[in-house]
Structure 1
Amino acid sequence: MSIIEERRTEIRAQEIIYQIAVATRTDEDRAEPNTRVMITLEAGGPGGEAVAEGSLDLDVAVAATVADLVADGLLSTTGAGRSPRRRSAARPAQQGRPWNEEMDAELESRWVAGESVAEIAAYFERTAGGIRARLPRVGCDPEHPGCYLPVPPSRRVDLDGGEPD
């Protein structure tokens, strides 16, 4: 077994401290190695008494499904009254992917030309929020369609082309 990645988190909710460890590993000693996810949970009450402990060992291909099933099951048995979170099947294809210089230039060009956030989001296959977040990085003002952000006083030059005093 070799660990590829491991993350540990400690969370305090009310008076209980939860410690969660998620490790991704491969079983190299098998004839057909596969990637596994090991989730370990421990929780202690205010007096240090154990209120939860356990672990799951999952094939990586089913980890997301099992996470949803566990969340749904816990929410329904605790009467939390919240509907479970579901990932939208209609999320944009490029959501979360990195931007490059050409895309930034196209974003700036479209914004200055007067296209709406919705039109630009559709063109780049991203969310409207992702477009609004990217606009300031290319110097555009997301609050004023078609406009650039103002140059801050510390970066302005005087009329003679020199630096400010």
Structure 2
Amino acid sequence: MAFNLEYTSKRQDLSYALTVAADDDGELGIDVIAKDDHGEVVAEGAVRLPPGGAAETAKLLREALVAITALEGKRRTVGNANQPWSAEQDSTLRESWLSHPPTRSATEVIRELATLRQRSPAAIRARLPRVGCDPDVSGRLLTETTAAIVGRDAVIAS
């Protein structure tokens, strides 16, 4: 039975197209192409499979792509990820947080502080209560009430 399937996807600045075609004999052709926003081809590939070869090939491709994805994920870690915080880093984080007005977006400030400290925004947000700062309102210290909401590692500002 002959068939033709086409899938497209866009990720970041690339458009991907996957075409799978089978002929009456069951032979499969798989074509992949990636183009940038200007239509220039930046990646392409083709696989031809004999009848009955799709299942095993799909399994192998999946395993390879999962492994590659895991490697790419490890390369994207931030410079100080998983490094312990020093007392000085805690102190400067607190001072920096308190220097911003409460009218400024907490998310924006957290991203800025993360970039400056080579930490993830999640790491900054998690660390703020530990130095007595309210992670939901820039420039604000934790109160007893907000410390109870934020969690067990929160330090009540004195």
Which TM-score applies when normalising by structure 2?
Answer: 0.43
User: Which one has the bigger helix percentage?
Assistant: 2
Which TM-score applies when normalising by structure 1?
Answer: 0.41
